[in-house]
Structure 1
Amino acid sequence: MTCDHPPELSIIVPVLNEAAHLPSLFATLAAQQGLCFELVLCDGGSEDGTPQRAARLARQAPFPAEVVSASRGRGRQMNAGAAVAQADTLLFLHADSTFVAADALARGLSALRARQAAVGCHEAAGRFALRFCRSNGAPSPAYFFYEAKARLARPECIRGDQGFMLPRPFFRSLGGFDERMPFLEDLHFVAAAAQRCDWLLLPAEVGTSARRFEAEGLWERQVLNAIIVNCLVAGWTEFFTALPGLYRLDADTGRLSLHPLLAGIRALLARRPGGWRRAFWRTTGRHVAANAWQPFFWLDTRRAFFRGQGPGEVEPRWLGLYERRLKRFFGTLPAAMAAAGLVRLWFRLMLAGRPRNAPTGTRQTG
């Protein structure tokens, strides 16, 4: 919407070779009503004409928009965007984000302001309910599970593709995004904010593209994501340095090939001292045991899915059972040891078996 007043909201979007998604982003934002906002695109060195296309779209947009250059890395890019943003409230968004409701941003901003008023300070942060935009619109219990999980009041379930809305003073007091790694900045940021406030679920949905899950395989991609988070928890920085060289797509299907990844992890672990490896598996066991609630929530989401309910209507019966009767056990050392043993068994079976995609060849992707 066209607005003659200073922006109430600065939307900051890191981009890297996102020229194909920019028209959709500008279109979804142009449809928003009920507030004044600006768009700040932070380019990390695109080679597909992203800055030029963004500049053309900005000239035609019914809202202020600018493109800034930054060093590559989403954390660096978003910090650079925040540095030039004009509004008192910031929204960090992904380039493939879309909104169905024309008042999504207005409702989100109103809810955040209400939370600020309730707590009496600027320490408030919110994220939107997640909806996957899939090329195949057939109902999927797996995607339903992840959409429902993103609505839970658990910091470990919050990701950057939900959008982060928060007051500028709170963002500054948190020190911005971690710039030490090219990704995972959202996990660090969510955890830091969660130490000072409860993350608010804003009363609107944001759509995010499922293209990577569809191309690489939902199961394969989620296994990779779980490994990444586990290695982050374990503080294994060597893994993240080696990850680009272990990331393979099947040459025939385009799906993520887990076998080269797991073989690479095995080789990296073999180079570490025995004491370090034992500590790594202990940490892995504790992390996996701490996530034992997820199968119980999966049962809840399946029940809601087959009843035709929405991802925001899941009744946490099985999850409630876990919280009341089982959570304490899964926090014990025996549970952690059992979880570590099961993960190691799965790891060995995956390496011993034929690669899931039965590839005739693999290709590396960066």
Structure 2
Amino acid sequence: MSEKPLLSIIIPTLGVEENLSLLLKDLDSQEGISFEVVIASATPNSDTATPPIGFKTKNLKTKIVICERGRGRQLNEGVKHAEGNDLLFLHADTRIPSLTLLTRGSEAMALARRASKRVAGHFPLRLGSELAVPSFYYIEAKSRFGLPECVNGDQGQWISREYFDELGGMDESLPFLEDLRLSKHVAAEGRWITLPGEILTSPRRFEKEGRKARLSLNALIRVAEELGLKRFLKRAPELYRDQPSTEKLTLAPFINLFFRELFSGSIRGNISGLGAFAAMNAWQTIAWLECTYARQRGMDSHLVELNYTKRGISLFHNLKDNFIFRTLAGSALLAWMLTIWLGSLQPFSFIRNRL
């Protein structure tokens, strides 16, 4: 009888993931920990018994589970077939440069659980790009922060099965955002810790779709999630699938839909919520300035302390209910959205459709 693994690594996939074999190779080289890999595949013709073609495993225990499409649904299905007491959710385009990353992660989690069982971990992130891109540097620096706004699936999410079940598992209501919602639930009920080491993720999506467009869409989705614009979140994946796969991401359909939902229903409530969201995230302006200064000095993104940002978070938290500050912050955010809107391909289609 084989030994029960301490850790189950669950990876959602859609079709043939060209980077999956590279991740499995990295995992096969890990030392000092017993674990298994569960591939939650939404491809009906996947082989349920073997890992991807061309990959030869030494000791890696791997199983493939066939499930319906949707990351939250796939991850929950993977958990059902997992044997470990600990769960680590990874994306298929993740790379692991250290042979002892999982061992050190397990030790850090065990230490953190001495204080409370309600703890989850994430790794600092590297975007595997040789380009010295300010936005990439900023993302990497924030990945060490541990705030729910900064923790996402690209960083890996390590949690005990017991705590995961207590939180109700991954949200399945949308085909995305399950990682951000898990981050918020953990932050509300327990705490996040930053695990030692780092993982790499591919910047291909940013480079293929356009960095500015991709990051702007991510920000738009975060705002819609905070404001509860359910129709936007429901339709956004359809708009994304309609985009030509060989071209840059076009923001116009998303922005048109966002403003249509923002200015429907409870307009006053939506605008007030926009101001509150902007006020609570005003610290990111300070973080950007700190990262810009550190980058110009040649400092590694994972060594940036963000000391002024940490002070700013406390300050802005106290100001979030201040009407004047919230109005100013919301106006600045709305102005940014309008700038992005006017820079998209069809900037006036929303107005034209309303006339």
For normalisation by structure 2, the TM-score amounts to 0.88
**In the aligned structure 1, how far is the partner of 2:98 from the partner of 2:245?**
39
Instruction: State whether residues 97 and 208 of structure 1, in contact with CA within 8 Å, keep that contact through their aligned partners in structure 2.
Output: yes
- Structure 1 residues 322 and 155 mapped into 2: Cα distance closer, same or farther (>3 Å)? same
Q: 1:214 aligns with which of 207, 218, 237?
A: 207
Instruction: State whether residues 280 and 316 of structure 2, in contact with CA within 8 Å, keep that contact through their aligned partners in structure 1.
Output: no
**In the aligned structure 1, how far is the partner of 2:30 from the partner of 2:346?**
44
Which aligned pairs between 1:144-155 and structure 2 lie closer than 5 A?
A: 144-155=137-148
Match of 2:120 in 1: 125
**In the aligned structure 2, how far is the partner of 1:306 from the partner of 1:51?**
49
> Helix, strand or coil for the counterpart of 2:15?
coil
**In the aligned structure 1, how far is the partner of 2:260 from the partner of 2:24?**
45
**In the aligned structure 1, how far is the partner of 2:230 from the partner of 2:84?**
36
**In the aligned structure 1, how far is the partner of 2:218 from the partner of 2:206?**
11
User: For residue 91 of structure 1, what is the amino acid of its counterpart?
Assistant: L
**In the aligned structure 2, how far is the partner of 1:229 from the partner of 1:297?**
18
Which aligned pairs between 1:150-299 and structure 2 lie closer than 5 A?
A: 150-247=143-240, 254-269=247-262, 272-273=264-265, 276-299=266-289
Match of 2:328 in 1: 338
Q: 1:68 aligns with which of 36, 60, 65?
A: 65
**In the aligned structure 2, how far is the partner of 1:179 from the partner of 1:162?**
20
Instruction: State whether residues 58 and 66 of structure 1, in contact with CA within 8 Å, keep that contact through their aligned partners in structure 2.
Output: no
**In the aligned structure 1, how far is the partner of 2:41 from the partner of 2:60?**
19
Listed one character per residue, the Cα deviations across residues 317-353 of structure 1 (whole Å, up to 9, x for unaligned) are: 4324524655533542222222333333344444445
**In the aligned structure 2, how far is the partner of 1:19 from the partner of 1:53?**
15
- CA positional deviation for 1:303: 2.1
Listed one character per residue, the Cα deviations across residues 264-318 of structure 1 (whole Å, up to 9, x for unaligned) are: 3334456x24xx1221121112101211000101111122222222222113243
Q: 1:89 aligns with which of 80, 86, 101?
A: 86
Structure 2 residue runs of 5 or longer lacking an equivalent are 348-355
Match of 1:36 in 2: 34
Instruction: State whether residues 128 and 162 of structure 1, in contact with CA within 8 Å, keep that contact through their aligned partners in structure 2.
Output: yes
- Structure 1 residues 240 and 50 mapped into 2: Cα distance closer, same or farther (>3 Å)? farther
Q: Does 1:27 align with 2:57?
A: no
Listed one character per residue, the Cα deviations across residues 245-265 of structure 1 (whole Å, up to 9, x for unaligned) are: 443898798221222322233
- CA positional deviation for 1:213: 0.7
- Structure 1 residues 263 and 202 mapped into 2: Cα distance closer, same or farther (>3 Å)? same
User: For residue 94 of structure 1, what is the amino acid of its counterpart?
Assistant: H
Instruction: State whether residues 25 and 57 of structure 2, in contact with CA within 8 Å, keep that contact through their aligned partners in structure 1.
Output: no
- Compute the RMSD of aligned alpha carbons: 2.7
> Helix, strand or coil for the counterpart of 1:309?
coil
For normalisation by structure 1, the TM-score amounts to 0.86
Match of 1:361 in 2: none
Q: 1:105 aligns with which of 78, 81, 102?
A: 102
Instruction: State whether residues 246 and 264 of structure 1, in contact with CA within 8 Å, keep that contact through their aligned partners in structure 2.
Output: no
Match of 1:78 in 2: 75
Q: What percentage of residue pairs aligned between the two structures are identical?
A: 32
User: For residue 195 of structure 2, what is the amino acid of its counterpart?
Assistant: L
Counting matched residue pairs gives: 347
User: For residue 210 of structure 1, what is the amino acid of its counterpart?
Assistant: P
Structure 1 residue runs of 5 or longer lacking an equivalent are 358-366
**In the aligned structure 1, how far is the partner of 2:245 from the partner of 2:97?**
35
> Helix, strand or coil for the counterpart of 1:20?
coil
> Helix, strand or coil for the counterpart of 2:51?
helix
Instruction: State whether residues 13 and 42 of structure 2, in contact with CA within 8 Å, keep that contact through their aligned partners in structure 1.
Output: yes
Which aligned pairs between 1:292-311 and structure 2 lie closer than 5 A?
A: 292-311=282-301
Match of 1:364 in 2: none
